[in-house]
Amino acid sequence: MKTIYFNKFYKSFNILSGILIIASLVFLVFKGLNFGVDFKGGTLIELRTDKSSANITKIRDSFNQMNLGDVSVKNFGNETDFVVKFEKQNSNDPQFIEEIKTKLSNSIGTVDFRRVENVGPKVSAELLRSGVIAIALSLAAMLLYIWIRFEWQFSLGAILALFHDVIITLGVFSVFSLEINLSIVAAVLTIVGYSMNDTVVIFDRVRENLRKYADVKIFELTNISINETLSRTIITSVTTLLALLSIFIFGGEILKGFSLAMILGVIFGTYSSIYIANPVLISLKVSQRTIVKEEKE
């Protein structure tokens, strides 16, 4: 296969990544994330209406008359399916949902509540906290693992790549106001695993090549390593993306956010293994001596 000179573009892509990260952070800080019921508390109702009668405006109007706080209504897949979310959460009143259903049936005709989620403020705060802890813990565990397996320069590169992927993925979610729920946390953790996996494959090769070529500079060496592992990188990303696209398209509405986050993560993860992880090695002046020194110890 022809050699591709990835290393020519390290600088430009690093600048691009820098801009993306800053933009993501700006969005995350100023616009924030669109937390779903899991993390914000409140009630979610997925409902299916009789074909003819309902549209978003009608449903929103009838919910607005019920004094439930902020109400959001969205179409969900089918044109007869809707997801309604509102702040009020009152699971201690056993009739709460039943009353909403009756009132709604009166104004828009027969409705079927396909899914109801009701999360109290205490639980949502706990879920949010454990989600953040899970992500932090997984980053820490990856750091530890890679620190044991590689020299510290490599660990730093891999971790920076991870942060890059997680921040930009969340940034995209912020820009498009996509909902963050429990399954997104699962997606982020899987992204962390995948991105690490991808970086490790290239780093393993870099380290092997440091032993193999005594006189090649790290700048060249990363490029050789990226090229040698390139077809694997492509094939694995393609098969993973094929699986994820299949979930995204055919897996139903509930998995849409999850699979979208994963798709973004796989793309950013593959990109960052090449354009974030490797330049870090170069700026940390990794050389044949880094490896030798480590082995002597």
- List residues near another protein by CB under 8 A: 46, 91-92, 94-95, 97-98, 112-120, 122-123, 127, 130-131, 133-134, 137-138, 141-142, 145, 149, 182-183, 185-186, 189-190, 192-194, 196-198, 200-201, 204-205, 228-229, 231-232, 235-236, 238-247, 249-252, 254-255, 258-259, 262
Least separation in angstroms between CB 175 and another protein: 24
Nearer Cβ to another protein, position 117 or 220?
117
- Among candidates 274, 281, 177, 163, which has minimal Cα distance to 219? 281
Least separation in angstroms between CB 108 and another protein: 18
With beta carbons less than 8 A apart as the criterion, state whether 161 and 273 touch: yes
Query: The tokens of 190 are what?
Result: 């899987």
Nearer Cβ to another protein, position 135 or 284?
135
Nearer Cβ to another protein, position 20 or 254?
254
DSSP 276: T
Nearer Cβ to another protein, position 30 or 250?
250
Query: The tokens of 171 are what?
Result: 């940034």
| Strand, coil or helix: 51 | coil
Nearer Cβ to another protein, position 21 or 201?
201
What whole-number distance in Å separates Cα of residue 113 and Cα of residue 99? 12
Least separation in angstroms between CB 261 and another protein: 11
DSSP 149-205: HS-HHHHHHHHHHHHHHHHHHHHHHHHTT-EE-HHHHHHHHHHHHHHHHHHHHHHHH
DSSP 286: -
Least separation in angstroms between CB 171 and another protein: 21
Least separation in angstroms between CB 255 and another protein: 6
